[in-house]
Structure 1
Amino acid sequence: MIYQESLDFLKDLAENNNRDWFTANKERYDAARENVIDFTGQLLAKLQKIDPAIDETVDAKKRVMRIYRDIRFSKNKTPYKNNFGVSIPSGGSRGGTVEFYLQIQPGNSFIGGGYWMPEAPHLKVIRQEIDYNASELKAIIDDKAFVKLFGDFRKQEQLKSVPREYSAENENIDLLKLKSFVAWHKITDEEITSGDAVQLVADICSKIYPLNVFLKNALA
């Protein structure tokens, strides 16, 4: 589970996002980060049974993202993120582009998966796969259990215009216009701090897994 103390640290950090406060509370940060690393290790053990392509040697510590923000090109100069992010690539995709992603943040935790904002070469081949095998993708995203967990997959950000390789009359144009191919589900503070939090997250990932397989096939 994620400890309440870890969420409390993140809440306090959001209200005191400066180096002096962070330095004075470094022990709290270290304890929270270790909690997230331990949670990630337990989650990885379960995900490897769901997705055989996830490398058994994956280091949980390396999957927990840095809390330090890159502020070089940002108008927001606060030095720290107010969440812990965990990125777990679904092995077999080029560059680890298809992944499971866990965000831990008071009032805004979620588990997601798929491919967020692919660059042009990957976007092109994913669209080709949709054009050739739309029925396979629609069987995944229109399944009642999928919709209940993740909502309408087509409601993600779309291009305003039609991709030049396709016709506006294409029956799957709503999917071909997507900029991202992501499913995500919000997790409450009560859920993420519960004793069965790891299993809960793993169960949701199992519902995302077929989407990841479809996307990895497109990139193969």
Structure 2
Amino acid sequence: MENSTIVPKSSLDFLTQLKENNNKPWFETNKPKYLIELNHIENFAGALLHELSKTDVLETASGKKSVYRIYRDIRFSKDKTPFKTFWGGSYTRATKERRGGYYFHIEAGNSFFAGGFWGPNAADLKRIRTEFAHDTEPMQKILSSKSFVSNFGTLQGEQLKTAPKGFDVNHEAIDLLRYKQFLVIKRFTDDEVLSPNFLEQALETFKNMRPFFDYMSEVLTTDINGASVL
């Protein structure tokens, strides 16, 4: 029986070959190989979804549904290569009560698992900043926790160069207030990706995002007085 809990070396090797031959004729010739590797990745994503669903509620229906298309949208891009050279996908948390999303990116020499808030709308961003300005301690406690630092290092994402409108540039939480995105990222070596316990490592990475997700979800579903806005 096929082992759905591993990423085989052939799946990384295919990406390396695709990077060197990023054109439609090569891809068409090698499509049978692509479909075999896609199946491996979908199986791995399905196994990870199954395990993650034991501790979180997700609306992503299957591993297959979580994996992104390999075809690039080149309409507005200067880079006209037709194919992505990584396996990527995401899991969506269910209902308005659970915010944040899980993302995986598997690529030779550049694999990482991430989570958070890629493009918060203006209202959500203002609500997050208002909370940080009001009381920065809960977030600082999460960011300085042993599990957060050992997994993710620091909070990542785009930041403003100055203070956001309506906030004091000298505020004690100015470093947090400048964020426009709130991302946590853990990188993996190829050896780690190909190891038999990678599924376990991936699952632990996602589970370690939960204190951050739970706090941000609480902020985004309440007003400044802590009353539900749902």
Structure-1-length-normalised TM-score: 0.92
Tell me the residue number matched to 1:136: 138
**Alignment of structure 1 residues 32-181 onto 2, 5 Å:** 32-51=37-56, 53-55=57-59, 58-93=61-96, 98-153=100-155, 156-181=157-182
Q: Distance between the aligned counterparts of 1:139 and 1:81, measured in 2?
A: 38
Q: Could you tell me which amino acid in structure 1 is paired with residue 122 of structure 2? A: A
- Secondary structure, counterpart of 2:89 in structure 1: strand
Offset at 1:163? 0.7
Offset at 1:133? 4.0
- Secondary structure, counterpart of 1:110 in structure 2: strand
- Secondary structure, counterpart of 1:91 in structure 2: coil
Of stretches 74-83 and 167-176 in structure 1, the one that deviates more from structure 2 is 167-176
**What is the aligned-residue RMSD (CA, Å)?**
1.7
CA contact (8 A) 1:50 1:209 kept: no
Offset at 1:89? 1.4
Q: Distance between the aligned counterparts of 2:176 and 2:168, measured in 1?
A: 12
Structure 2 runs not aligned, ≥5 long: 1-5, 222-230
1:92-116 superposed Cα distances (whole Å, 9 cap, x missing partner)? 348x862111001011011111112
Q: Distance between the aligned counterparts of 1:147 and 1:83, measured in 2?
A: 26
1:60-93 superposed Cα distances (whole Å, 9 cap, x missing partner)? 2111011111100000000010001111112234
Offset at 1:10? 0.5
Q: Distance between the aligned counterparts of 2:96 and 2:12, measured in 1?
A: 32
Detail structure 1 runs of 4+ shifted over 6 Å in the superposition.
none
Tell me the residue number matched to 2:198: 197
- Secondary structure, counterpart of 1:50 in structure 2: coil
Q: Distance between the aligned counterparts of 2:211 and 2:80, measured in 1?
A: 39
CA contact (8 A) 2:120 2:181 kept: yes
Tell me the residue number matched to 1:186: 187
Q: Could you tell me which amino acid in structure 2 is paired with residue 137 of structure 1? A: M
- Find the structure with the greater CA-based Rg: 2
Structure 1 residues 92 and 61, CA gap change in structure 2 (3 angstroms): same
- Secondary structure, counterpart of 1:49 in structure 2: coil
Tell me the residue number matched to 1:18: 23
Q: Distance between the aligned counterparts of 2:58 and 2:137, measured in 1?
A: 26
Q: Distance between the aligned counterparts of 1:19 and 1:121, measured in 2?
A: 42
Q: Distance between the aligned counterparts of 1:133 and 1:42, measured in 2?
A: 39
1:29 aligns with 2:31: no
CA contact (8 A) 1:65 1:85 kept: yes
Structure-2-length-normalised TM-score: 0.88
Offset at 1:131? 2.7
CA contact (8 A) 2:99 2:213 kept: no
Q: Distance between the aligned counterparts of 1:164 and 1:214, measured in 2?
A: 24
Structure 1 residues 80 and 159, CA gap change in structure 2 (3 angstroms): same
Question: Would you say how many aligned residue pairs link Structure 1 and Structure 2?
Answer: 216
